[in-house]
Chains A and B, each alone.
Chain A
Amino acid sequence: MFLPAFFRLATLSVAATLTVLGAHVFLRLTGEGGLTAVDFLRTALVAFSGFWLVWGSSAAILGVFRPVRIDTGKSGGGPQGMTAILVPVYNEDPIATFSRIAAMNRSLVDLGISHKFHFVILSDTQVMETAAQEVVWFNRLIEEPDAIGRIFYRRRERNIGRKAGNIEDFIARSGAAYDYALILDADSLMEGATIAAMARRMDGDEQLGLLQTVPHVIHARTLFGRSLQFASTYLSPTFARGAALMAGNEGPYWGHNAMVRMRAFAACCGLPVLSGKPPFGGHILSHDYVEAALLSRGGWKVNLDPSMTGSYEEGPENLIEYAKRDRRWCQGNLQHARLVDAPGLKIWSRFTFIQGIMAYMASPLWLLLLAASVIAALFPDMPTAMPGFVNINFSAWTLIVAVAVVLLLPKFAILSRGMFDGHNRRFGGTLRSLASVLGEIVVSTLLAPTLLLLQSRSVMQVLLGIDGGWPATTRGQNWVDLKTAFHASWWIVAIAILTLGGILILAPASAVWVAPAMVPAILAPFLISITSRPTSNAGTPLLFATDSELSRPSIVDAQRAIFAAWTGQGTQDAGLITVRTAQHVTA
């Protein structure tokens, strides 16, 4: 417990010191000749938003200096406990989902440990045609080796409590038959060896309540998706290593690709329905963070282990799908404001809630800072509240460069370390990694203003009490045509044109500060559309190549082969499959 406390304190000290320094520099710059009320507001916003920027970067730097340990899970025997591998689905493509289950099952069968693992498909599917298809493809799935008596399917007619309610329903009915549950998403894919290693870790540490892996994104095909995929595989493990150092035994749970101890989870994680109406009341949306906090409250260890390889997921392929998911997460994280003072929680759990809330509140705060700066530029003769500073011997660029360093330093530190520890080699060498890091910086910088406005809108909607619901994830939707992109982002273009146009007319000298944010926002429809274009199918593209593309994991190959075989057979031998109607789907 000493080490996490030390790292938390050290990171907090660094973040606080740099924030105070940054705020002081900003105040000196804006306060030349006299400080107005708007200057104080802007400084407060810079300090508040800047702190979270520095905090995130400090965590990553911490991860750069932590030794890397790779655990492929290949050593060690079979686990002792029984594990239920839970696959909650909600209007997903059953062929893709079930082919992943088939691949994971074959991987466990090959290791000779399949008798210790059951798969349970927990369907909350509400579209009846999809539900009927699930039964059709379940018939195919149970033709897999050792499937009978080990692979189960059940569907709820009403998806009460969404994913958390789905899992709770399973535990309430069958939980006592299992020691552990590996909780997956419909797009999760894990090597059998990794699953076995997780179960062995649970066997070996009776206090371990939850073990979270860092899933790597796979199968991305568009520029947007591949940029995200590269960030998740090349950069995220280092950020996670830093976060894990600070979290210690009070780590995060991301809702999937994680194993829980069944009796601990059952005893601690029955989620209540919050009083009041959505978005702040009702069922808890971002249940994973809450479940991690509750396990910690119950005295169980919650560990994040970035060293475990063989854990994969898929990501959104375009900015519109990303924003849809982000809207859901935004509502879920802001709902945690109700839980920050929940009785008995560990301080770190409360801080994690605040961190999650700030991940979304940061966007409207940056926007407010931009708006306040525009006002300051438009009305330079506002009455001063305090005498200002004199002899300012540095320019505004000092602050811009400082922000850029905070944002970019972790990425280049990861690249530098990768030259020595073999990380870059797995991604095609240092030059290729450098090109991808630079590409990721360009893509994320160009899309940042659009995301800032989208997130600000989400926050405003939640604060106004508008419930975003729980739209199903649309996987495999790639290209967004210009018309659709414009339909989704016209208001962003309008805001950007009005802001930049107003500044150019009324305070042209300040346009240089506003243009870097507003020009990409004006181009939002083009950027959304261009980044959603699938990349060439011929080989691995030069940019954003990942280790799993350059040396494809066996589980990914297996899943692709099963998917191809099933879809090929499905069209050729369709007559062999009994197409059942929805009445065969038990609820």
Chain B
Amino acid sequence: MKHSADFPFARALPDAPLDMPKQMLERRSLLDLLRMTLSALTGR
């Protein structure tokens, strides 16, 4: 996300990534939990 070379601008934005993990906002149904558990157990 830097400015192009001919952009009259001395310094681009700092390259300093900060992780922004997605938050859980929706409650999972029992079926979802079962599916996730099975996926974890089968490694898929």
Contact = CB atoms under 8 A, between A and B. Distances in A.
Interface of A: 120, 135, 138-139, 142, 148-149, 152-154, 168-178, 262-263, 266-272, 274-275, 290, 294, 338-339, 341-343, 584, 586
| Across the A-B interface, the 3 shortest Cβ-Cβ residue pairs | A175-B18, A177-B16, A177-B14
Given A174-B16, A176-B16, A586 B4 contact: yes
A505 to B, nearest CB: 51
Contacts, number: 96
B3 interface: yes
B22 A271 contact: yes
A271 B16 CA distance: 20
A586 B7 contact: yes
Contact of A266 (B15, B20, B25): B20
A584 B7 contact: yes
Contacts of B18: 171-172, 174-176, 262-263, 266
Contact of B11 (A149, A178, A262, A275): A149
Interface in B1-44: 1-4, 6-27
Contact of B17 (A142, A173, A338, A586): A173
17 contacts: A148-B11, A152-B9, A153-B3, A173-B1, A173-B13, A173-B16, A174-B15, A178-B16, A269-B20, A271-B22, A272-B25, A339-B25, A342-B26, A342-B27, A343-B25, A586-B1, A586-B2
B7 A294 contact: no
A275 B13 CA distance: 33
B21 A270 contact: yes
A142 B8 contact: yes
B13 A338 contact: no
A139 B8 contact: yes
A342 to B, nearest CB: 4
Residue of B4, B19, B20, B24 with most chain A CB atoms under a 10 A cut-off: B20
B22 A270 contact: yes
Given A148-B10, A173-B1, A343 B27 contact: yes
B7 to A, nearest CB: 6
B19 to A, nearest CB: 7
B13 A152 contact: yes
A286 to B, nearest CB: 13
Contacts of A169: 1
Contacts of A269: 20, 23
A168 B20 CA distance: 7
Contacts of B10: 148-149
B24 A272 contact: yes
Contacts of A139: 8
Given A173-B13, A174-B13, A174-B14, A154 B23 contact: no
A270 B4 contact: no
Contacts of B24: 272, 342-343
B1 A341 contact: no
B2 to A, nearest CB: 7
B32 to A, nearest CB: 10
B33 to A, nearest CB: 13
Contacts of B12: 152
A168 B17 CA distance: 11
A338 B24 CA distance: 12
B7 A268 contact: no
Contacts of B17: 172-176
B27 A341 contact: yes
A584 B23 contact: no
B23 A271 contact: yes
Contacts of B6: 584
A339 B24 CA distance: 10
A168 B18 CA distance: 10
B11 to A, nearest CB: 4
Given A149-B11, A586-B2, A586-B7, A275 B26 contact: yes
A362 to B, nearest CB: 25
B20 A120 contact: no
A542 B22 CA distance: 51
B29 to A, nearest CB: 11
Nearest to B4: A586
A211 B41 CA distance: 44
A584 B25 CA distance: 39
A274 B26 contact: yes
A509 B34 CA distance: 63
Contact of A268 (B4, B15, B23): B23
Residue of B13, B18, B24, B27 with most chain A CB atoms under a 10 A cut-off: B18
Contacts of B15: 173-174
A168 B6 CA distance: 27
A267 B13 CA distance: 21
Contacts of B16: 173-178
A135 B27 CA distance: 44
Residue of B2, B6, B9 with most chain A CB atoms under a 10 A cut-off: B9
A356 B3 CA distance: 40
Residue of B6, B13, B15, B27 with most chain A CB atoms under a 10 A cut-off: B13
B19 A266 contact: yes
A187 to B, nearest CB: 23
Contacts of A176: 16-18
Contacts of B26: 272, 274-275, 338-339, 342
B12 to A, nearest CB: 7
A546 to B, nearest CB: 37
Given A142-B8, A154-B3, A272 B14 contact: no
Contacts of A270: 20-23
A120 B13 CA distance: 8
Contacts of A152: 9, 12-13
